[in-house]
Amino acid sequence: MKTKDCIELIQLADEGGVFTDESRYDIGTMIAVLNAARGFAITELHKQNNRIHPSFLQRVYPQYKKELQQDDCYTLFEVPKTVGINNQIDGLMYVGTIDGKNSFWKIRTRMQANSRRNHRIHKIAMAKHVHFLYDNTRGYLEVYDDKVKYILVEGIFGDPTSIPGFNLEEDDYPITMDAMKRIEDMVRTGTIRDVLRVPINKISNSAEDANVQRDINVK
């Protein structure tokens, strides 16, 4: 299903005047609405069946940029912001070698990274395995091996249409029919207003998203 198909379903489901005439036909606004609602639907579906459908995932090959590097201990990459499912799942499903065969070990906090580097046993593990830390606030990935220049990242990204190489006209939007039906229900009942008020700034911080709330016709 293409992005425009998803948007058309949202527009058709709007029986209660959730959107203004201006926002209804503004592609940037509708994509931002779709992205935010998708993130909410994915979280809900995970609570129900405790799994992430592979259709939600996209692949990114972050470029190594010399000007980004700040420390000799790790390599810094820019990564699109993800949809956080819960406290344990931050939206990154794979970080590792570009052949997809060797995943790096995740470190959740910088304090944990410092502790592992100074702990006798963990220090050995740090030397044997490549570790990484994801900073979703800044959209940065720290890979604790300064020799690593090429990586593969697979995840649930907040704005699928902004992923490098994504073609708005030709590529399928990463969503399932179950998630799309949930979004249609939220639009039809008007509960999508509550979804947009809470997680939209958390899920995606694009310029279009900042305008979503004022374009929603709150009665």
Domain boundaries along the sequence of the chain: 3-54+166-215, 62-155
Torsion of CA 93, 180, 193, 85, to 10 degrees: -20
153: β partners: 60, 95
The confidence score (pLDDT) of residue 216 equals 39
Tell me the C-alpha to C-alpha distance, in Å, between residue 128 and each of 24, 104, 125, 131, 144.
Answer: 53, 11, 5, 9, 11
By the 8 A CB rule, do 157 and 53 touch?
no
pLDDT in tens, the chain (219 residues): 999 999 999 999 987 778 887 888 889 989 999 999 999 999 999 999 999 999 999 999 999 999 999 877 889 999 999 999 988 899 999 999 999 999 998 987 766 666 666 655 555 556 668 989 998 888 999 998 888 999 999 999 999 999 999 999 999 999 999 999 999 999 998 888 887 764 433 333 344 444 443 343 333
Between CA 105 and CA 143 the distance in angstroms is 10
The confidence score (pLDDT) of residue 108 equals 78
Tell me, rounded to whole angstroms, the distance of Cα 83 from its chain centroid.
Answer: 4
The confidence score (pLDDT) of residue 180 equals 97
Between CA 37 and CA 14 the distance in angstroms is 14
The confidence score (pLDDT) of residue 113 equals 65
What is the pTM (predicted TM-score) of this model? 0.81
The confidence score (pLDDT) of residue 205 equals 39
